């Protein structure tokens, strides 16, 4: 949750003059999104979300993100759709920050995803991958295999009480992944952060995908590997193969995996676990315990990584249940 | 801003079964209110605000507040209107907390109120006082003259660096107010916290009053005195008599003050300044500087109190401009 930038009413009125949204009726900061400030906006034309981009999102990446959302929405993927101003431009400025207005998306994220949600996720993920195939812009993944070792070292150096055994374990894992990461797999635009809080449901039906601010060009199957990590473990970090089967088989209805994609899935899953382990570890080591931001325990992803290291064959992910 | 209690989707679905609101469509924490958790709620039936009552609001006061809002709304005062469940009960429980759903109120609060806003406020305040006359419940003001000295001493004892000269100044002021506070003036239900962030406007027109969680039975003119403190000083804490005239004259169109009310207004204004000075001073002295909550500077009300002490006659508040 986050509302960082305070916007005055006069400033907002002036900003809205560039849109065809009628009179401003209400404006409230909402507790959603960690990187950005989000506001509920009510005008004569309806309810919207206004996003101000803070700190972590790079301004030069915003055209990619906004164009992608527009592209996906035009192809039937339900996601926040950027509204254009009278001049046709969606990315504007408010309060000294990049800003955009989006359609209001109904739905709630599911705190305890069940098998039915994993199936819905698989279906939507494949559709998103297909819908992004003709997206003309490109953004490299800034958090892929080459970026993990420097991040690992920065996290280690920032620790007040460095964990030597964890450092050795992760160094060993990095050696393996750097040597075995696939060079070429079916690729395109991936979400790269599709955790449960970024997927909305109405009842058991998936109603939208949000928070595309890690989206980039990478292996489609890596997006699936991230979802395996994010959706298919129980709270005590045991792997639920039924949920994984639901995710993978629903995905493959739209886009069957190649033999090579199936074979390297355990490696991609190790990479996915390590990527979130490292960002959480870095945040853990650089965030004072008393700070307002909730620190997420990196240990969860150490356990997930250990599971993927124990996998001997892709079939253990439940392809053929 | 505050969202303290995390509510699961299943828990919320179950809660909503007691209302005639149709299907739940969206639910987002909003950054509004300091004492409570507030959420935007979207259902088939429309947009609403769900409030969970945290810490500071006493559970035994909630029936007074909710009944008052219902009473005022029925008499045309625009304020959040509590929705009743199927059983006719508005005050329910969610997440282990007292909870209620309210109508969604359009409007924004004005960061820099102008004279036109003060006139709107005066009109609405008098209408609210009139509308509350036949409200049958009673709640004593828990922050009136008898409560100030104990609060003053607690704030002083909590200070890490006690300010002796401020303590002497406030003790002297307390002596005066305890000896001169009026015993009997026209009374009824007052809002008691009608600062700009509790008054919504659409353009220049007042569109609603919110946050009645200090409402109580007390002198009507004390509510006006609080508004003089909250709305009629410029940012550098100089008194703007034009704004005060607009407030008072608009108020008197609906309810002219008695001669006695006019005469004691400087004393009531001193009391109003002292009341907010003391709660801010207490919060200041008991809140660690690093905490998430924004501490409001008590010095602003020291300056306001000094102004009211310099007033020789009520006419200085602009009654007869």
Separation between Cα atoms, residue A235 and residue A304, nearest integer Å: 11
Instruction: Tell me the per-residue pLDDT of B63-116, one tens digit each, with 9 for 90 and over.
Output: 999 999 999 999 999 999 999 999 999 999 999 999 999 999 999 999 899 999
Nearest-CB residue to A28 (from B24, B32, B202): B32
Q: Do A40 and B28 touch (CB under 8 A)?
A: yes
**Is A163 found in the same domain as A274?**
yes
Q: Does one domain contain both B240 and B120?
A: yes
Does residue A99 sit in the same domain as residue A119? no
pLDDT for A9 = 80
pLDDT band at residue B1 under the 50/70/90 scheme = very low
What is residue A32's predicted lDDT score, i.e. its pLDDT? Answer: 74
Residues 6+ apart with CB under 8 A from A7: A27, A39, A52, A94, A95
Nearest 5 degrees, angle CA B14-CA B16-CA B18? 90
Distance to chain B for A39, nearest Cα, Å: 8
**Low-confidence stretches of chain A (pLDDT beneath 70):** 1-4, 33-34, 289-295
**pLDDT tens digits along B225-263:** 999 999 999 999 999 999 999 999 999 999 999 999 999
Say yes or no: A133 and A97 in one domain: no
Residues B94, B54: contact at Cβ < 8 Å?
Answer: no
Residue among B40, B110, B293 with most chain A CBs within 10 A, to mutate: B40
- Residue A173 near residue A152, CB atoms below 8 Å: no
For residue A47, what pLDDT is reported?
97
Kindly list the distances between the CA atom of residue A292 and the CA atoms of A2, A287, A295, B40, in Å, as whole numbers in the listed order: 10, 9, 9, 22
Count of the separate structural domains present in chain B: 2
pLDDT at B288 over 80: no
Assess whether A48 and A147 both reside in one domain: no
Residues A166, A277: Cα–Cα separation, whole Å = 11
Burial class (CB in 10 A: 0-12, 13-18, 19+), A204: exposed
Q: What is the mean pLDDT of chain B?
A: 93
B300-309 tens-digit pLDDT? 999 999 999 9
Q: Is residue A4 part of a domain?
A: no
Range B187-191 average pLDDT:
98
pLDDT in tens, B121-171: 999 999 999 999 999 999 999 999 999 999 999 999 999 888 999 999 999
**Residue A123 and residue A92 in one domain:** no
Whether B178 and B144 have beta carbons less than 8 Å apart is answered as no
- Chain A hits for B292, Cβ within 8 Å: 292
Question: A interface mutation test: which of B106, B113, B207 has the most A CBs within 10 A?
Answer: B106
Is B9 close to A110, i.e. CB distance below 8 A?
yes
Domain-located, residue B4: no
The most distant pair of C-alpha atoms in chain B lies apart, rounded to whole Å, by 61
Kindly tell me the number of DSSP H helices and DSSP E strands found in chain B. Answer: 9, 9
Q: Do both A211 and A272 map to the same domain?
A: yes
Question: B110 in a domain, yes or no?
Answer: no
pLDDT of residue A296: 76
Residue with tokens 């009960």: B89
Nearest Cβ partner for B108 among A27, A108, A109? A27
Largest CA distance in chain A: 61
Q: What DSSP letter does each residue of A290-319 carry, written as one string?
A: TSSSPPPPTHHHHHHHHHHHH--SGGGGTT
CA atoms within 13 A on the CB side of A131: 19
Which pLDDT does position A289 carry in this prediction? 65
Q: Judging by DSSP bridges, how do beta strands B216-219 and B187-190 pair with one another?
A: antiparallel
What's the alpha-carbon Rg for chain B, to the nearest Å? 20
The C-alpha angle with vertex B233 and arms to B228 and B236, in degrees rounded to 5, equals 160
Task: Check whether residue A97 and residue A175 sit in a common domain.
Answer: no
Give domain status of residue A1, yes or no: no
Q: Which of A39, A68, A103 is the last residue of a domain?
A: A103
Q: Residue A3 domain-assigned? A: no
Domain enclosing residue B49, as ranges: 9-103
Quick one: DSSP state of residue A182?
Answer: -
**A127 and A175 belong to one structural domain:** yes
> Taking CA atoms, what residue in B is nearest to A110?
B9
The residue among B50, B70, B103 that closes a domain is B103
Q: Identify whether residues B19 and B122 lie together within a single domain.
A: no
- According to DSSP, the β-strands at A92-94 and A97-103 are antiparallel
From chain B, the residues in CB contact with A31 under 8 A are 1, 3, 28-31
Q: Are the CB atoms for A38 and A49 separated by under 8 Å?
A: yes
CA distance A225 to A270: 8
Share of chain B above pLDDT 90, in %: 84
Domain co-membership, A137 together with A264: yes
| Residue A42 belongs to domain with CATH number | 3.30.200.20
Tokens of B73: 């709304």
Sequence-ordered list of residues with C-beta below 8 angstroms from that of A218, at least 6 positions apart, any chain: A141, A144, A187, A190, A192
Give domain status of residue A185, yes or no.
Answer: yes
pLDDT at A294 (0 to 100): 64
Which residues of A fall within a CB distance of 8 Å from B32?
Answer: 28-29
Task: Please identify, among A82, A103, A124, the residue that sits at the C-terminal boundary of a domain.
Answer: A103
Q: Which candidate, A64, A50, A63, places its Cα nearest to that of A16?
A: A50
CB atoms within 10 A of CB B89: 12
Q: Which residue shows structure tokens 């676990």?
A: A273
Higher-scoring residue by pLDDT: A292, B311: B311
Q: Do B44 and B88 belong together in one domain?
A: yes
Q: How many CB pairs under 8 A join A and B?
A: 75
* Residue A233 included in any domain: yes
d(Cα B261, Cα B292) in Å, to the nearest integer? 41
Token digits of residue A7 = 């916007």
Whether residue B71 lies inside any domain: the answer is: yes
Distance separating alpha carbons of residues B226 and B229, to the nearest angstrom: 5
At A285, which CATH number? 3.90.1200.10
Give the DSSP letter string of B224-256.
Answer: HHHHHHHHSB-TTS-B-HHHHHHHHHHHHHHSP
Distance from CA of A226 to the nearest CA of B (A): 24
How close is the nearest chain B Cα to the Cα of A32, in Å?
7
């Amino acid at each position: 949750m986050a509302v960082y930038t305070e916007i005055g009413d006069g400033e907002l009125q002036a900003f809205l003059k560039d849109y065809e949204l009628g009179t401003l009726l209400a404006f409230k900061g909402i507790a959603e999104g960690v990187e950005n400030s989000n506001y509920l906006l009510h005008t004569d034309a309806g309810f919207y979300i206004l996003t101000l981009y803070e700190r972590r999102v790079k301004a030069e990446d915003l055209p990619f993100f906004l164009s992608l959302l527009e592209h996906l929405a035009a192809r039937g993927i339900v996601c926040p759709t950027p509204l254009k101003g009278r001049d046709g431009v969606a990315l504007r400025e408010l309060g000294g920050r990049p800003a955009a207005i989006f359609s209001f998306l109904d739905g709630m994220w599911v705190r305890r995803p069940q098998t039915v949600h994993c199936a819905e996720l698989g279906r939507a993920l494949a559709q998103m991958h297909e819908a992004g195939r003709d997206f003309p812009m490109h953004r490299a993944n800034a958090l892929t295999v080459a970026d993990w070792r420097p991040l690992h070292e920065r996290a280690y150096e920032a620790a007040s009480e460095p964990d030597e055994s964890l450092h050795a374990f992760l160094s060993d894992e990095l050696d393996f992944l750097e040597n075995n990461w696939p060079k070429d797999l079916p690729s395109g635009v991936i979400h790269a952060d599709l955790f449960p809080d970024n997927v909305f449901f109405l009842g058991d039906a998936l109603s939208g995908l949000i928070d595309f601010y890690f989206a980039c060009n990478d292996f489609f199957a890596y997006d699936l590997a991230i979802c395996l990590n994010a959706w298919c473990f129980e709270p005590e970090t045991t792997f639920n193969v039924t949920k994984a089967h639901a995710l993978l088989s629903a995905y493959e209805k739209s886009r069957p995996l190649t033999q090579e994609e199936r074979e390297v899935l355990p490696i991609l899953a190790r990479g996915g676990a390590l990527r979130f382990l490292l960002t959480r570890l870095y945040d853990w080591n650089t965030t004072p315990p008393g700070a307002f931001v909730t620190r997420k325990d990196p240990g969860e992803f150490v356990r997930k990584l250990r599971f993927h290291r124990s996998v001997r064959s892709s079939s253990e992910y439940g392809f053929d249940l």
